[in-house]
Amino acid sequence: MKTLIAPSILSADFANLQRDIEMLNGSEADWIHVDVMDGVFVPNLSLGIPVIKAIKKHANKPLDVHLMIVSPDNYLQVFKNAGADILTVHYEGCTHLHRTIHAIKDLGMQAGVAINPHTPVNVLQDIVAEIDLVLIMSVNPGFGGQKFIEATHQKVKYLRQLIKTKKSKAKIEVDGGVDLKNAPALVKEGVNVLVAGNTVFGSKNPSETISLLKNGK
C-alpha cells in the first residue's frame, strides 16, 4: 500500500484556510489531519466544531480528526455531524476504551487510538485487532513545530509486530516532527500514514513537499 499523507491543518494559514484546503484537494494528500485540543488534556486550544464544519464544506479528502480532549465519549456524535471520517481518541483519555471504539464504529466512522510518547505500545494488545488505526505521537501533544522523538522508531517496530501477532488490519500513523529526512525510515519500518504540519505548510511549495513525502524522496 502506498504511504498515505495527512497534512495537519493546524499548521495552515487560518486567515486563508479555504485556499489551503483547496491546495490540499489538488495535491497528492490522502487525508486532512485535524487536531482538536481542549486546553485540559493538552495545554493548548485548537479547532472547534464550526471550523471543522467549514473545512468539511471545502474538502474533498477524508477528515482525519484527532481528539486530544477529556471525555471524548460526550462528543462522538458531534464530530460525526461536523464531518469526521476517521476519529482518533487517546488511550490516556478513555476510561472505557473498548466501548468508545465501538461507539465510533457504530456512528459509521473509522476508529483510531493514539498513544503519547511515554505510553508503551503493549497497552494496545487487547484492542488493536478491533481498531482501524494506531496513532503514535512522536512529540508531546499540544503544540506544532516540536522536535521528533527518536524513540518513536522503536515503537513503530514493536507496534508492527503486535499488529502482525494479533492479525490486526490497523494502519500505523505517526504525528509530530515528521519531515523529509525521517519519513523514508518511518515508512520502511511500517508506518502507513504520515502526518506533517510545519513540513508541508512551512515549505515554499506545499504541494510539492506532499509529493516528496508520498513518494519517499
Catalytic residues: 35, 175
| 106-126 as b/e: b if 16+ CB within 10 A | eeebbbbbbbbeebebeebee
Cα 215 to Cα 125: distance, rounded to the nearest angstrom: 31
Q: Which residue has the cell 485540543?
A: 37
127 Cβ neighbours under 8 A, 6+ residues apart: 97, 98, 101, 113
For the stretch 96-104, contacts whose Cβ atoms lie closer than 8 Å and that sit 24 or more positions apart, written own/partner, are: 97/127, 98/126, 98/127, 98/130, 99/73, 100/72, 100/73, 100/76, 101/127, 101/130, 101/131, 102/130, 103/73, 103/76, 104/76
